[in-house]
Amino acid sequence: MAKIKFGLIGYGYWGPNIARLIDESDRVELAYCADLLDNSLKQIKQKYPHTTTTKNYKAILEDRSVSAVLIVTPTKTHYKLAKDCLLAKKHVFIEKPLTYSVKEAEELIKIASANDVLLSVGHVFLFNPAVKYIKKIIDKGELGVIRHFHFQRRNLGPVRKDVNVLYDLAPHDISMLLYFINQKPKTVIATGESYLQNGIQDVISASIKFEDKIMANIILSWIDPIKIRDITIVGSKKMLLFDDVSQSEKIKIFDKNANIIEATRNVPFGEYQIALHSGDVYSPDIENKEPLKEEINHFIDCIVEKKKPLNDGHNGLRVVKILEALQNSLDNNSQEVKI
């Protein structure tokens, strides 16, 4: 069977990772790479001599033998590039976030549907074995009723100039949050500050409220002293910590909870009693797989088998809706915004 020809637009920070995985695949080949920088094109030509390099991405679209295009460029370029690719009837994979606005995302979904091609977004954590494990135990009810999420994504850089820390980092956490609970958000609030560049917030604290009283807090920063990538999930039975930076125990499950003692639940305020339980801590074994490789293989599977991606355009749109609402809150003195 002939290999599926892929084109790559963007060979900057993340592009080399995707190029490597395409080159390693026995099902696809990297036929083209487009980038505006001579140095980037020189690098990819040295590493992948068989790949055609160009500064004009439209050369990829004009080649009918190319089936799919992967877009790994700054956020605000996603819409225009993806629209052109979809209209050329190419399957499209876009690094997160899907687009900068809800309107743009909705239009791309319509174009993809009209041209019968796939639209997929790089929500790589949905393919992380630890995240899939967490989803499984939440669905099985092992943590009990989910109450609260606390996300932290902090480090010293890299600092971007095209978007703020919300659009840079929050898509990861929002995509996982929606994956875990599969509920529609009700309201959001965000506050932040710009310390390094005027108008581009580098520290943001966000809060999202869902149905069933579920609340999620997200802390994002480009200017913290140490790298922190973790999630705390509080349930009525147990609690969980996912530390993505840890080299050993990625997940810890705490046999801890706080609940009203049933026998006192209906007594007058001030007379009910709360029981605090603290038990053992358990760290499950998590299989070792590269999430990005799993994600790219899923995209290839969906093309070959003509199936809907887990991280399709609608999945990307849900994340962009929350991003846009949070940005709206930031722009309006941290007012609560309904979704």
Q: What is the CATH number of the domain that holds 269?
A: 3.30.360.10
> Are 145 and 276 part of one and the same domain?
yes
**Residue 52: which domain range?**
4-124+291-312
Percent of the chain with pLDDT over 70: 96
- Per-residue confidence (pLDDT) for residue 264, from 0 to 100: 54
Instruction: Kindly report, residue by residue over 160-171, the tens digit of the pLDDT.
Output: 999 999 999 999
pLDDT at 265: 54
In percent, the amount of the chain with pLDDT more than 90 equals 90
Q: According to the model, what pLDDT value does residue 270 have? A: 54
Report whether pLDDT(267) > 70: no
- How far apart CA 324 and CA 336 sit, in angstroms, is 13
> How far is the C-alpha of 64 from the C-alpha of 87, rounded, in Å?
12
Please determine, for residue 266, whether its predicted confidence score (pLDDT) is greater than 80.
Answer: no
| pLDDT attached to residue 272 | 56
- Say which residue the tokens 């003195």 belong to: 333
Question: Across the strands, what pairs with 191?
Answer: 205
In tens, the pLDDT along 129-173 reads 999 999 999 999 999 999 999 999 999 999 999 999 999 999 999
How many domains does the structure of the chain reveal? Answer: 2
Q: Which residues lie closer than 8 Å to 170 by C-beta, 6 or more apart?
A: 153, 204, 206, 218, 220, 323, 326
Residue 113 covered by a domain? yes
Residue 327 falls inside a structural domain = no
Claim to verify: residue 136 and residue 105 sit in the same structural domain: no
Per-residue model confidence as pLDDT tens digits over 65-100: 999 999 999 999 999 999 999 999 999 999 999 999
CB contact set of 80 (below 8 Å; sequence gap of 6+) = none
**What local confidence, expressed as pLDDT, does residue 258 receive?**
87
User: In terms of domains, do 139 and 254 share one?
Assistant: yes
CA-based nearest residue to 72, from 62, 57, 58: 57
My answer on whether 32 and 180 are in the same domain is no
Judge contact between 42 and 11, C-beta under 8 A.
Answer: no
Residue range 54-64: mean pLDDT, rounded? 97
- DSSP-H helix ranges across the chain: 15-24, 38-47, 58-62, 78-87, 102-114, 129-139, 165-181, 291-305, 313-331
Residues 282 and 147 in one domain: yes
Q: Are 192 and 303 in the same domain?
A: no
151 and 278 assigned to the same domain: yes
pTM over 0.85: yes
Q: Is residue 206 situated within a structural domain?
A: yes
Phi/psi of residue 265, nearest 5 degrees: -60, -35
289-329 tens-digit pLDDT: 999 999 999 999 999 999 999 999 999 999 999 999 999 99
State the average pLDDT for the chain.
95
pLDDT of residue 263: 56
Same domain, 120 and 177: no
Residue 193 maps to a domain: yes
Helix/strand number for the chain, H first, E second: 9, 15
